[in-house]
């Protein structure tokens, strides 16, 4: 039997209106933060990054695909991994449906991983994704944008991640970065987010937050422990099985 408060419709409406005030305050604050984000200064990207994709070698400027804005998912898939990170895959499961809408707003999406393109393509086909995904295996892009780390960095016990010193000890971590290309063809880095900031791609979380049980991650050894690749969910009594390969938040 539930122990949650059960009230009349009138009492529920009163409580819901109180919550609505808090929700509107959060929305307005989010709008203010988005404006601050747009006012961030930019950094010109002069390094000649070359990636490998479905059509061969491409530059960072090529990835814009004729648009002026580029969203990059730093997807955790290192050389030799048999499959991509479960948490990054959870993020990517939300992508294909939004790419057409992003394109209408002058934004191109691409995922970038350090694995060779042949390994990326094998996993992409397994998962059934259509979005563009390229390899940074031959360049320092992942290291420069602080989502891949050398054995020497990891051996120190702390790494430079999420704009500060972090205790993570992983060769790959998640992130989302944004770039702009001007009319002269110059490319600028405008924004990056890491850690829980990558939840911006997790629409399922937004929906779970509306439900009575929410994310139901209390008691797990780490958040997202329940997430699996979408072709490997095992149903049990709770519907929450599996573990994450490294999407720490």
Distance, CA of 185 to CA of 162 (rounded, Å): 29
According to DSSP, the β-strands at 43-44 and 107-113 are: unpaired
> 43-201 maps to which CATH number?
3.40.30.10
Q: In degrees rounded to 5, what are phi and psi of residue 172?
A: -135, 140
The residue extents of the domains of the chain are 43-201
Q: What is the pLDDT along the chain (249 residues), one digit of tens a residue?
A: 468 999 999 999 999 999 999 999 999 999 999 999 999 999 999 999 999 999 999 999 999 999 999 999 999 999 999 999 999 999 999 999 999 999 999 999 999 999 999 999 999 999 999 999 999 999 999 999 999 999 999 999 899 999 999 998 899 999 999 999 999 999 999 999 999 999 999 999 999 999 999 999 998 988 899 999 999 997 543 444 443 333 333
3-class secondary structure, 236? coil
3-class secondary structure, 18? helix
Q: Name residue 159's beta-bridge partners.
A: 166
């Amino acid at each position: 039997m539930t122990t949650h408060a059960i009230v009349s419709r009138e009492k529920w409406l009163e409580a819901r209106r109180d919550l609505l005030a808090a929700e509107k305050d959060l929305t307005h604050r989010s709008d203010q933060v988005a404006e601050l984000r747009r006012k961030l200064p930019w950094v010109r990207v002069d390094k000649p990054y070359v990636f490998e994709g479905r059509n061969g070698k491409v530059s960072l400027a090529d990835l814009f695909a004729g648009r002026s804005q580029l969203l990059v998912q730093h997807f955790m898939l290192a050389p030799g991994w048999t499959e991509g990170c479960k948490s990054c895959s959870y993020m990517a499961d939300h992508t294909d449906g939004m790419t057409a809408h992003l394109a209408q707003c002058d934004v191109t999406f691409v995922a970038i991983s350090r694995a060779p393109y042949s390994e990326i393509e094998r996993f992409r086909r397994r998962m059934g994704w259509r979005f563009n995904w390229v390899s940074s295996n031959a360049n320092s892009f992942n290291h420069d944008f602080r989502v891949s780390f050398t054995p020497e960095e990891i051996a120190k016990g702390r790494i430079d991640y999420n704009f500060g010193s972090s205790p993570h000890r992983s060769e790959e971590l998640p992130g989302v970065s944004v770039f702009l290309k001007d009319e002269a063809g110059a490319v600028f880095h405008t924004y990056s987010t890491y850690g829980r900031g990558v939840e911006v791609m997790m629409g399922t979380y937004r929906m779970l937050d509306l439900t009575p049980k929410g994310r139901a991650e209390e008691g797990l050894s780490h958040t997202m422990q329940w997430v699996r690749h979408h072709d490997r969910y095992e149903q049990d009594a709770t519907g929450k099985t599996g573990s994450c390969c490294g999407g720490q938040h």
